[in-house]
Amino acid sequence: MMNAHEPYAREVTINACKLCNPLGASLVFRGIEGAVPLLHGSQGCATYIRRYLISHFKEPVDIASSNFSESSTIFGGGANLKQALQNVISQYRPALIGIATTCLSETIGDDVRLILDEFKREYGAPGRPVLVTVSTPSYQGSHIDGFHDAVQAVIQQVASGGPKKSMVTIFPGMVSAADLRLLKEILIDFGLDFLMLPDYSETMDGVIWDTYQIIAPGGAPVSKIRAAGRSKAALQLGRCIRRQQNAAEYLAERFGVEGYTLGLPVGIKETDRLMQTLAILAGRDIPRKYQEERGRLIDAYVDAHKYLYGKKAAVYGEPDLVLGMASFLAEVGMVPAICATGSKSGKLAEELRKLLPESEEGMTEVAEGVDFEDIRMLIERVRPDVLIGNSKGYPLARQYGIPLIRVGFPIHDRIGGPRLLHMGYRGTQQLFDRIVNALIRARQDQSPIGWSYI
Amino acid sequence: MKVLDGRKKQVFRKGEAPFEFDCEKQSLAGSVSQRACVFCGSRVVLYPIADAVHLVHGPAGCAAYTWDIRGALSSGPELHRLSFSTDLREYEVIHGGEPKLYQALIQLIERYRPEAVFVYGTCIVGVIGDDLEAVCKKVSALKGIPVIPVHSEGFKGTKKDGYKAACAALMQLIGRGPTDGISKYSVNILGDYNLAGEIWIIKDYYRRMGVEVVAGITGDGRVKEIERAHGAALNLVQCSGSMNYLAKLMKEKYGIHSLQVSYFGIEDMAEALYGVARFFKDAEMMKRTQELVSGEIRAVYPKLLEYRKALAGKKAAVYVGGAFKAFSLVKALRLLGMETVVVGSQTGSKQDYALLKELCDDGTIIVDDSNPVELSHFIREKNVSLFIGGVKERPIAYKLGIGFCDHNHERKIALAGFVGMLNFAAEVYQSVMSPVWQFTPRYMQSETRGDVHDECSRTVCP
């Protein structure tokens, strides 16, 4: 049995290892072409989330707010929401507005759907953007729930059925902009017509501009989202996603789309599963380019295996990121000794059990719903050789003198967070090199001799 | 670009129309204001108090977004750099969060032994009706330290109301400590947050003048020092937006005079020292101050002139939280030969904007509570080489190929004091004169228009 770690009993969260739901939803809406996110709540929710996303992506991130006042809190936020929609339309001319609720509007019980129905009647159809609403109170779940719930809301509220097309729909989960670009490259190389939702690879990691773009170019086109029910297949990346959040499952049930649920393609085994699925869907072999990337990756695994065997890693972040990393670490001989997440998927331990070899049993501490104080206590006990996770683990890396391999979100203390590649053979290669070199460096720094070769 | 109807009176172009300016309003819904909320206002003001526990009573987000985000340094304890929250869940939203808050407080106090605790109310706490006051009182009596509720529910006004809530919380500390032994030449420093160690620079100047600093409120702040703040002879108020209210409360309760100061820029920094010397009417102190100021200026001025040679004639935009900061920036940029053509703030008052109007040249755009659509338009229209703002303004500048300086909470470079002016000039220079702009579309367009570029003058400074 793997050790399922219970957070120790205390009522206070110390350095949370999670963010709030509307952040995840905002990121999804930013991955739709011509879309503007709008948070129904206090001004601060939008501003804090903007600031947090900007510090990672280093791009303009406009998120509107319905800007509650004391009277809207007492009498309901309907008037504010309608005014906000009106002003967003007049400033941005968006194709879609994604409305996410907040703790405040949820607690006072605003019926957003009803308000939107009223707004639609009052505004009329001409020039009206698509309106999508998602419930994201942060007292239920965390940012990753907000992310998956928003994807599901977009599909449920926008997609329709009809005769099947050749299109494949892929739900990549909360991954980096570079990961999204790689996935698109892979789909194109397989010759597949596709919808990827969300796609913030350009909107959140774009080129320099000559004139200011009030909505960043790029993103999943609304027309393709409309056609999602006519896809021939839908792929959800992420094994820890709850069934009701799994958009591929929804498309399968509602429109009879062929649905697949795969893990984040980190490491050879999980990437193989994705490539094989795509090969079947495209009806062709895996392109030579990827076979070569795979071959080089295995070659590197062999070259460096002695530096990694038995080394212990502490991995933290969203459940599926942790799962993907753990699966990869195990296949290169490392021990994912701590697998921690601030979220509560309830599935991480079970999915780890399926992916990790039996020999790893008893060597992995799985901890869901924890904060960085819980993770600190696990580190104290396990003494890992390397930390793998976002920037918020840096204080622990510094305190314990353990190298930190930055992955996921947020990367606030380095340049290039959106350009970090984690997925596919290529992303695994980069990750692998970074981990091996961090371990070699730690040994080199501690060595009294200071070899200049390895 | 069309300014939204509800915001037309918050944008003014000097020289064009009679000055009818609106400000201190709730942000317009849907306008994508750069402001945050009441909670943010309270949190930024109290944040630097390093030996207090800052507990956010609410869901995880509000605490997570404010974890270790300011460059506010401490010379000792660093409790302020941790993020504590009650992480309210659905159960508490339905049944109330008071028991959880009580337990959290007890656990935190037993573990960290803080000098005081600040408990921040967030939006849902205001709705579910937890009695913060009662829980704080109970824990305070039990544990024997101040446990102070901060009424910072996000929806109850603007960021400025958050400053007021923080000041009200500080008033609960001030007056608790002994005042014996405090010099008659003594001050409190209000509204400096010790970003990048700035309050240490300022304290050193006052020490050399012979002035005792009783409390930094709240830069490098300590509970015990703030408790003695009522013993100081004078309050020095920087960052008018956040701290004027505290100065007013202290004047009413303790009769302490206050002086508006700014530590930014040569002129304002010198005046911040001279003003204190004048207040204490001590000839010796005035002499020491003059020596200090002239010595400091001598040390930085030649280098500043070099920067000025390179930067003269360039245009800048300024959009910051408080308007008082904007005054100093306009003046400091002028010292570098640069003209401010767009200037605005999130929280300025009517008097602030009237002053800004006086300070700026004709054609300058003055703006209150602006947003990305407006700001991006104004900086392009005015063709600025530099934008000074905070994290949310940075990508607007960078995306358009414009230099940028952070003048907000996260910066790691001290900009206060005479040495700070030199740091500021160096940062402006390094950003404006960087060769990277040559690759940006903005530069290439201006090149085809035949504008003069001057990176060749880069040789001026290392």
Q: What is the DSSP string of A270-282?
A: HHHHHHHHHHHHH
Here the CATH number for the domain that contains residue A93 is 3.40.50.1980
- Rounded to a whole number of angstroms, the distance from the CA of B5 to the nearest CA of chain A is 9
pLDDT confidence bin for A3, thresholds 50/70/90:
low
What would the pLDDT profile of B153-201 be if each residue is shown by its tens digit? 999 988 899 999 999 999 999 999 999 999 999 999 999 999 999 999 9
The answer on A110 and A146 residing in a single domain is yes
pLDDT confidence bin for B17, thresholds 50/70/90:
confident
Contacts of A70 in chain B (CB under 8 A): 155-157
The answer on A318 and A255 residing in a single domain is no
| A20 at interface of B, judged by CB pairs closer than 8 A | yes
Mean pLDDT of the region A260-267:
98
Contacts of A208 in chain B (CB under 8 A): 399, 401, 439-441
Tell me how far apart the alpha carbons of residues A82 and B269 are, in angstroms, rounded to a whole number. 47
The answer to whether residue A303 sits within a structural domain is: yes
pLDDT confidence bin for B462, thresholds 50/70/90:
very low
Percentage of chain A lying above the pLDDT 90 cut: 92
Domain ranges of chain B: 38-173, 186-295, 301-460
The answer on A433 and A303 residing in a single domain is yes
Tell me how far apart the alpha carbons of residues B22 and B28 are, in angstroms, rounded to a whole number. 12
| A71 at interface of B, judged by CB pairs closer than 8 A | no
Whether residue B460 has pLDDT greater than 50:
no
What would the pLDDT profile of A204-233 be if each residue is shown by its tens digit? 999 999 889 999 999 999 999 999 999 999
CATH class of domain segment(s) B38-173: alpha beta
| A104 at interface of B, judged by CB pairs closer than 8 A | yes
Put simply, the answer to whether A12 touches B86 (Cβ < 8 Å) is: yes
ipTM over 0.90: yes
Helix (H/G/I), strand (E/B), else coil: A14? strand
- Rounded to a whole number of angstroms, the distance from the CA of A329 to the nearest CA of chain B is 29
Put simply, the answer to whether B27 touches A38 (Cβ < 8 Å) is: no
Q: Which residue of A lies nearest to B103 if distances are taken between CA atoms?
A: A11
Interface test with A, best of B81, B155, B393 (most A CBs within 10 A): B155
What would the pLDDT profile of B434-445 be if each residue is shown by its tens digit? 999 999 988 877
User: Please, where are the H alpha helices in A383-423?
Assistant: 394-400
Mean pLDDT of the region A259-269:
98
pLDDT confidence bin for A417, thresholds 50/70/90:
very high
Pick the CATH number of B301-460 from 1.10.10.10, 3.30.420.280, 3.30.70.2190, 3.40.50.1980: 3.40.50.1980
Indicate the residue of B30, B108, B157 with minimum beta-carbon distance to A83. B30
Put simply, the answer to whether B85 touches A50 (Cβ < 8 Å) is: no
The answer to whether residue A236 sits within a structural domain is: yes
- CB neighbours of B338 closer than 8 A, spacing ≥ 6? B311, B312, B313, B314, B315, B316, B386, B428
What does the DSSP 8-state code read for residue A61? Answer: -
Indicate the residue of A16, A87, A213 with minimum beta-carbon distance to B83. A16
Q: Which residue of B lies nearest to A55 if distances are taken between CA atoms?
A: B391
pLDDT of amino acid B440: 92
Mean pLDDT of the region B53-61:
96
User: Please, where are the H alpha helices in B144-256?
Assistant: 159-173, 198-209, 223-227, 240-254
pLDDT confidence bin for B202, thresholds 50/70/90:
very high
Tell me how far apart the alpha carbons of residues B190 and B259 are, in angstroms, rounded to a whole number. 10
Domain boundary among A282, A307, A322: A282
The answer to whether residue A15 sits within a structural domain is: no
Q: Which residue of A lies nearest to B5 if distances are taken between CA atoms?
A: A87
Cross-strand pairs, B449:
none
What would the pLDDT profile of A98-119 be if each residue is shown by its tens digit? 999 999 999 999 999 999 999 9
The answer on A437 and A302 residing in a single domain is yes
- Rounded to a whole number of angstroms, the distance from the CA of A255 to the nearest CA of chain B is 33
Q: What are phi and psi of A317, to 5 degrees?
A: 145, -155
- Edge-first strand order for the sheet with B147-150 is A13-14, B84-85, B52-57, B116-121, B147-150
The answer to whether residue A278 sits within a structural domain is: yes
Contacts of B53 in chain A (CB under 8 A): none
The answer to whether residue A225 sits within a structural domain is: yes
Domain carrying residue A238: 168-282
Q: What are phi and psi of B416, to 5 degrees?
A: -85, 160
* Cα angle B14, B15, B20; round to 5: 65
Contacts of B377 in chain A (CB under 8 A): 212
Q: Which CATH superfamily is domain B186-295 in?
A: Nitrogenase molybdenum iron protein domain (3.40.50.1980)
Put simply, the answer to whether A66 touches B440 (Cβ < 8 Å) is: no
Contacts of B158 in chain A (CB under 8 A): 43
The answer on A435 and A324 residing in a single domain is yes
The answer on A69 and A143 residing in a single domain is yes
- Rounded to a whole number of angstroms, the distance from the CA of B13 to the nearest CA of chain A is 21
Residue B220, phi-psi category: left (phi > 0), alpha (psi -120 to 50), beta (remainder): left
| A86 at interface of B, judged by CB pairs closer than 8 A | yes
- CB neighbours of A295 closer than 8 A, spacing ≥ 6? none
Whether residue B449 has pLDDT greater than 70:
no
The answer on A270 and A321 residing in a single domain is no
The answer on A357 and A294 residing in a single domain is yes
Distance of CA B134 to the CA centre of its chain: 32
Contacts of A65 in chain B (CB under 8 A): 27, 29-30, 32-33
The answer on A138 and A228 residing in a single domain is no
Whether residue B243 has pLDDT greater than 50:
yes
The answer to whether residue A12 sits within a structural domain is: no
User: Please, where are the H alpha helices in B74-173?
Assistant: 90-95, 98-112, 123-128, 132-143, 159-173
The answer on A224 and A186 residing in a single domain is yes
Put simply, the answer to whether A214 touches B65 (Cβ < 8 Å) is: no
Percentage of chain B lying above the pLDDT 90 cut: 81
Cross-strand pairs, A169:
A195, A234
What would the pLDDT profile of B330-388 be if each residue is shown by its tens digit? 999 999 999 999 999 988 889 999 999 999 999 999 999 999 999 999 999 999 999 99
Domain boundary among A264, A282, A300: A282
Whether residue A142 has pLDDT greater than 90:
yes
pLDDT of amino acid B323: 86
The answer on A345 and A434 residing in a single domain is yes
Domain boundary among A237, A257, A282: A282
Same fold, B38-173 and B301-460: yes
The answer on A406 and A309 residing in a single domain is yes
- Rounded to a whole number of angstroms, the distance from the CA of A354 to the nearest CA of chain B is 31
pLDDT of amino acid B214: 98
Tell me how far apart the alpha carbons of residues B387 and B317 are, in angstroms, rounded to a whole number. 5
- Between the two ends of chain B, the Cα-to-Cα distance in Å is 41
What does the DSSP 8-state code read for residue A220? Answer: B
Put simply, the answer to whether A87 touches B4 (Cβ < 8 Å) is: yes
pLDDT of amino acid B455: 44
